[in-house]
Every structure is written in C-alpha cells, then in structure tokens.
Amino acid sequence: MVHRIINKTIVLMAFLFVASLQSCYYDNEEDLYPQPPPCDTSFITYSESVWPVINDNCTNCHSGSAPAGNISLSNYDEIVASANNGSLLGTIRHDAGWSPMPKGGAKLPDCDIKKIEMWVADGSPDN
Ligand code: HEC
C-alpha cells in the first residue's frame, strides 16, 4: 500500500517535472514579445501589394473632384505618375523634402513601404 502511494507520487512528480519543462519551452521570446510577421516580398503585384495599401490609406484624401494637394491617387496611371516623380516613395518613407504621408496618420508599416519600393524599382508594372 505504502509502496503504491510512493509510486503514484513519483509518477505525479515526473508529470509535474515534464509539465514545468513545457512551460519553460513556451516562455520563448517570440511569445512574450511578439515579433511582427515576416515580410513576404516574393510575389509583388500592383493589384495585390500596392493598390490595397493606397486605397486603404490615401484615396480618402487623394481622390474625387478636389483631391488633397491637388494630387489624385485613385487609379494606376495616377499612382505611377507619383511613383515616377519620386513623391510616392518620398512621402510614405517620410524622406526629407516631402510632406509625410498619410497626413495626420501613422507611418505605413515597413513591410508595405518595402513592397511599394520594390514595385517602383521593378518599373511599376500594371499586374
Ligand atoms: C488626411 C488626408 C490625407 C491622407 C490620408 C493622405 N494625404 Fe497625401 N496629402 C494630403 C494633403 C492635404 C497634401 C498637401 C500637402 C500637405 O498639406 O502636406 C498631401 C500631399 C501629398 C503628396 C504631395 C507631397 C509633396 O510633398 O509634394 C503626395 C505624393 C501624397 N500626399 C501622397 C499620399 C499618399 C501616398 C498617401 C497614403 C499613404 C496620402 N498622401 C495620404 C492629405 C492626405
């Protein structure tokens, strides 16, 4: 009888030991301090990588009959024009000499900026 209780105690302690190792295992840096998801730049297109970002962050001011700063970004041709004169990247990267965009809002996520940079470097394809 005593023997069986000791056996059970050993099993319980072994279980607790393993459980404590598990909790150590899960206390890793990524879970305690979540890292941003990796930036996937393997497949960049205008329709998937550029237009959604502009449409979500810019067109509320830069479209319509009286676009802010008289700059419209409501279609491919207009966005390419801003890409070609440097203002698109200058404003979203907050480069010196450009008015930082989106105006009055947080800077775009680095991953979005990186994708737009790569799209421009690729010649701003309409894909
Ligand atoms: C809340 C309104 C608003 C939003 C949102 C906004 N803009 Fe602007 N933008 C302006 C205004 C107003 C100007 C005129 C210049 C100024 O007042 O800074 C401007 C100017 C610009 C210019 C010309 C800047 C220059 O220095 O010549 C570009 C390019 C531009 N915006 C791009 C963008 C892009 C790209 C986004 C989205 C990432 C965006 N804007 C979001 C209001 C906005």
Task: Tell me how crowded residue 41 is: count the other CB atoms within 10 A of its CB.
Answer: 13
pLDDT at 16: 65
Whole-angstrom Cα distance, residue 114 to residue 53? 12
pTM score, whole prediction: 0.80
Show the tokens assigned to 6: 């000791």
> Which whole number is the average pLDDT over 55-79?
98
What is the rounded distance in angstroms from the CA atom of residue 61 to the CA atom of residue 43? 28
How many angstroms does the Cα of residue 12 sit away from the middle of ligand 1? 64
User: Mean pLDDT over residues 106-126, rounded?
Assistant: 98
- Per-residue model confidence as pLDDT tens digits over 15-43: 666 666 565 556 677 777 777 779 999 99
Short-list 103, 75, 73, 77, CA closest to 88: 73
Which tokens in the block code for residue 33? 């301090």
Residue of 73, 82, 99, 110 to mutate, ligand 1, most atoms within 8 A of C-beta: 99
Task: Report whether residue 50 contacts ligand 1, using a CB cutoff of 6 Å.
Answer: no
Q: State in Å: Cα 45 to ligand 1 middle.
A: 23
